[in-house]
Amino acid sequence: MKVPEAGVETVAAAAARRQDWERALQGGPPGVMVQQRMVEAVAGVTQETTSERATAADGTMDQQAGVLEASTRGNMAPGGGKRAKPKRKAIMRSKLMMVDGLPMSDIVAVHWQDIRNFQAKPGDVLIATYPKSGTTWTQEMVELIRHNGDVEKCQRAPVFERIPCLELMRCMPPDLETVNAMPSPRYIKTHLPFNLVPSSFWEHNCKVIYVARNGRDTATSYYHFDRMAIMHPDPGTWDQYLQRFMSGNVGWGSWYDHVKGYWEGKDKCDMLYLFYEDIKQDPITEIRRIMKFLGKKLPDATVEKIAHCTSFNQMKNNDMANYSTFPKEIIDQSEQKFMRKGQVGDWKNIFTVRQNELFEEDYRKKMDHTTLKFKVSI
């Protein structure tokens, strides 16, 4: 019998985790498609070992070093005997796999071939960010711009359905087939780095709106998000997480490579490169930049309305934007909200002096040869 390679999840482990997901659905509200899609996504891992999946996806998938094995953690007491059943949240935690050099949640990684082969259409618009860099904020601004400030049209469905995520089309609605059938222009979100965006977007010269956020605030926000995002690995302690963030051992990989990749690629395609801090400081100006990029002209009153509707307090209370409709088994907002603070400089409340020194040293080393500059406060 072949012993599984270190760090590669076995079929049995994946099957056990799938059962945990299914149990989470029992007794829940019927017809919750997001939950069902996530279960189906995890179920796909049980059909083959992850190493076999890696071959099928033309990528090398390994569980990322340092990621907690939450599916088995907590079952055994220190002396070897069984302890009480662990909390459901820990059991359901996802794992990271390496695909084309990129750490991805396993429920996304198993569908890598569909992601890479996605067919963009002429006129499509791609909203790209590193996670926790103002993605939902930008999506809402773009939605209001395209619908001429009509709030009711932007309340027709949750934001993740109105502007679907490329990486999650096999995990949640609208599914890949539905998106494929949509007429252009389609608005699509992605966290993929520039070099892994499906080539069809470049072949059709699709517009790209990229938003970058300073690394310290991104790491802070990502840590808090991963604490409640069951579809992501357990973040561990803040110090552990920061080390993984700096080394790129988190979902969607290195922040440094991501922001630099789009910065260096912005002159090779039709891209608008924005900064989170600039939008926060002067939303009217940045909304007008997005409008111009999309070829839209709107009255001043409408622009001011869009700025108001996408302010943090409004977004926080907007059920179609704040992910409150998302199942708690996937994003648990019982302890903190998806819309947490939305500030520039919140990193100062969690970074120790030593952590800030280490980050600054790492930043200088990795950002030394780029013209890309960030504000860490406004």
Query: What domains appear along the chain, each with residue ranges and CATH number?
Result: 11-106 (no CATH), 118-366 (3.40.50.300)
Burial (CB < 10 A; 0-12, 13-18, 19+), residue 343, is middle
Q: Is the pLDDT of residue 38 over 70?
A: no
- 79-93, 231-245, 279-293, 339-353, range with greatest mean pLDDT: 279-293
| Phi, psi angles (nearest 5°) of residue 275 | -120, 135
- 20-34, 171-185, 299-313, range with greatest mean pLDDT: 299-313
Mean pLDDT within 225-252: 90
pLDDT tens-digit map of 120-164: 999 999 999 999 999 999 999 999 999 999 988 878 778 888 899
Beta bridge partners of 76: 82
Higher pLDDT, 106 or 279: 279
Out of 81-85, 277-281, 372-376, pick the least confident.
81-85
What pLDDT score does 123 carry? Answer: 97
What pLDDT score does 158 carry? Answer: 82
Out of 144-153, 281-290, 309-318, pick the least confident.
309-318
**What type of residue sits at position 28?**
G
Higher pLDDT, 362 or 86: 362
Q: Element (H or E) spanning 273, and its range?
A: strand 271-275
Share of the chain above pLDDT 90, in %: 53
What pLDDT score does 20 carry? Answer: 53
Identify whether the C-beta of residue 36 lies closer than 8 Å to the C-beta of residue 26.
no
What pLDDT score does 339 carry? Answer: 61
DSSP string, 298-320: --HHHHHHHHHHTSHHHHHT-TT
Confidence of residue 317 (pLDDT cuts 50, 70, 90): confident
Mean pLDDT within 161-179: 88
Category of 323 on φ-ψ map: left (φ > 0), alpha (ψ -120 to 50) or beta: left
What average pLDDT is seen over the chain?
Answer: 78
What pLDDT score does 7 carry? Answer: 36
Confidence of residue 108 (pLDDT cuts 50, 70, 90): confident
Q: Is the pLDDT of residue 227 over 60?
A: yes
Distance between CA atoms of residues 188 and 164, nearest Å: 5
Q: Report residue 105 CA to chain centroid gap.
A: 10
List the catalytic residues: 191
Confidence of residue 107 (pLDDT cuts 50, 70, 90): confident
Share of the chain above pLDDT 70, in %: 70
Distances from the Cα of 341 to the Cα of 91, 265, 313, angstroms: 28, 31, 9
Higher pLDDT, 27 or 69: 27
Mean pLDDT within 62-89: 36
What pLDDT score does 240 carry? Answer: 96
